[in-house]
Structure 1
Amino acid sequence: MSRIKRAKAKKANPFSARNQDYYRYLTEKGYVQASGARKEFKVKPIGIIHSSLKESAGSPLQPRMAEGVKATITIYKKFTRGLKDLKGFERVWLIYWFHRAGAPKLWVVPYMDNKSRGVFATRAPTRPNPIGISCVRLLSIKGSKLYVSDVDCLDDTPLLDIKPYVPKFDSFPVKRWGWLEKSFDKKAKADERFEAKAKTKKEV
C-alpha cells in the first residue's frame, strides 16, 4: 500500500487498532452508530431531574448561584445498582442534556456579557452536543431517588451520568479565567435567549 493510501486509510478510521474490539462491542450493543468514516455516539439517559425551575427566565446560572434550590432525581430501575456507595459524597457532578436548547451556534452572546464569544469559551447550552454539567449538593438517597440542592437544571432535564465530586481531583487554583474576569456578576439570572422557541438575534 502506498504512503498516500495508508494515510487515507488511517484518516478514515480514527480508532486505533487496539480499540477496534471495544468499538465493535459498542456497535453491537447499540451504543455507537457508524456513519461512513465519521462515528456518532448514542447516549441514553439514566434518569430524569425534577426541579422547581420550570422556565429559563429568572433561573440561576450556575450551582454557586442556586443555593437552596432543591430537586429530586429519579434514576431508572436498570441503573439503580450503580448508586452503591454514592451517599458517602457531599457533592456530585450531574451530566445532563440541555433538552430545551435551540439550534447549535458557534458564536453566542453569553450571559454576563454583550459581545459574541466562541461557544466553547462559554457555558451556553446551544452547543454542537448540548451537554451540561452541574456540581450539586447530595442531601440523601432513597431507593431510586436522589435528593439534591444548589440545582440550576430545569425541570424534566434528562440525566446522562453522575460522578462524585472529589476536591483533590476537581479543585484547581487558577490565575486566568478569560473574559469572565471582568464580566462576572453573581446576581445575574438566565433568560430565554438560548431556548429553542426564543426569537434571538441571528448569530454565526
Structure 2
Amino acid sequence: MFEEIALKPIGKVISSREEIKDDHWGQVEAFIEVDHAQFTEEVFYGLKDFSHVEVIYYFHEVPPKKIITTARHPRNNLHWPKVGIFSQRAKNRPNRIGLTTCELLEVKGLTIKVRGLDAIKGTPILDIKPYMKEFGPRVEISQPEWATELMKDYFK
C-alpha cells in the first residue's frame, strides 16, 4: 500500500476566467497570489529573472464522482482513440493535479502575473517552479495525431 500524503495550497488564482473550458487559454492573463500567512516577499526573490514558470495546481471543482481511473476517449470524442487517463491531460485525474508552463509577466510583492495558465479563478496553487530549459525535453518530441488535433486551439 502507498502512503497517503496531504498538501496545503500555497496560494490561489485570481483570474477573470471563472468557468472551465477546454480551449483558448493562450492569451488569458491571471495572477497567482501566495498566502501571506505562509510567506514573505522573499519567496519570489530572483523569480523575475525567468521568462516562464511551471504552475502546479489542484482541480478543485472536479467532484470526486467524476474522477476517471480507466480509459476513455479524450473529450469524449469517438473519433479519437480510447486511452488511459495517464495518457491524456484531462482534469478528471485521480489526484486532480494540473501542471502548466506559463509566461511570467510580472512579480510584485506576493503576487505574480502570468499568461497561459489554464486554471480558473480560485484554483488552489500547490507549487510554482521556474522553468529551466534544461528540464525540458533533450530529444525530439513525439505524440499521436489525436493529441495534436486536441491541442490545436488550446493555447490560441
TM-score range, shorter chain: 0.7 to 0.9
Would you say the 8 A contact 1:112–1:185 is kept in 2?
no
**Aligned-pair RMSD on alpha carbons?**
2.3
Deviation at 1:112, TM superposition (A): 8.3
Residue in structure 1 matching 2:127, options 147, 150, 161: 161
Moved over 3 A (4+): 178-185
**TM superposition score normalised by structure 2:** 0.82
CA distance in 2 between partners of 1:52 and 1:133 (Å): 20
**TM superposition score normalised by structure 1:** 0.64
Q: What residue ranges of structure 1 are gaps of 5+ in the alignment?
A: 1-36, 190-204
Q: Secondary structure at the match of 2:3?
A: strand
Instruction: Name the counterpart of 1:12.
Output: none
Deviation at 1:45, TM superposition (A): 0.2
Residue in structure 1 matching 2:26, options 67, 82, 85: 67
| 1:134 counterpart = 2:97 | no
**Residue 185 to residue 49, structure 1, CA distance change in 2 (3 Å):** closer
Amino acid in the other structure paired with 2:29? K
CA distance in 2 between partners of 1:85 and 1:132 (Å): 24
Amino acid in the other structure paired with 2:96? P
CA distance in 2 between partners of 1:154 and 1:136 (Å): 14
Deviation at 1:185, TM superposition (A): 4.9
Identity of aligned residues (%): 32
CA distance in 2 between partners of 1:109 and 1:55 (Å): 22
**Residue 173 to residue 55, structure 1, CA distance change in 2 (3 Å):** same
CA distance in 2 between partners of 1:119 and 1:138 (Å): 29
Instruction: Name the counterpart of 2:49.
Output: 88
Higher relative contact order (CA 8 A, sep 6+): 2
Alignment of 1:55-204 (within 5 A): 55-57=19-21, 59-60=22-23, 65-77=24-36, 78-80=38-40, 81-102=42-63, 103-106=66-69, 107-111=71-75, 113-114=77-78, 115-178=81-144, 180=146, 183-187=149-153
CA distance in 1 between partners of 2:149 and 2:108 (Å): 40
Deviations 1:179-202 (A, max 9, x none): 53564451369xxxxxxxxxxxxx
CA distance in 1 between partners of 2:77 and 2:19 (Å): 21
Instruction: Name the counterpart of 1:46.
Output: 10
CA distance in 2 between partners of 1:125 and 1:90 (Å): 26
Q: Secondary structure at the match of 1:111?
A: helix
Deviations 1:84-109 (A, max 9, x none): 21111000000000111233212233
Higher Cα Rg: structure 1 or 2? Answer: 1
Amino acid in the other structure paired with 2:75? Y
Alignment size in residue pairs: 148
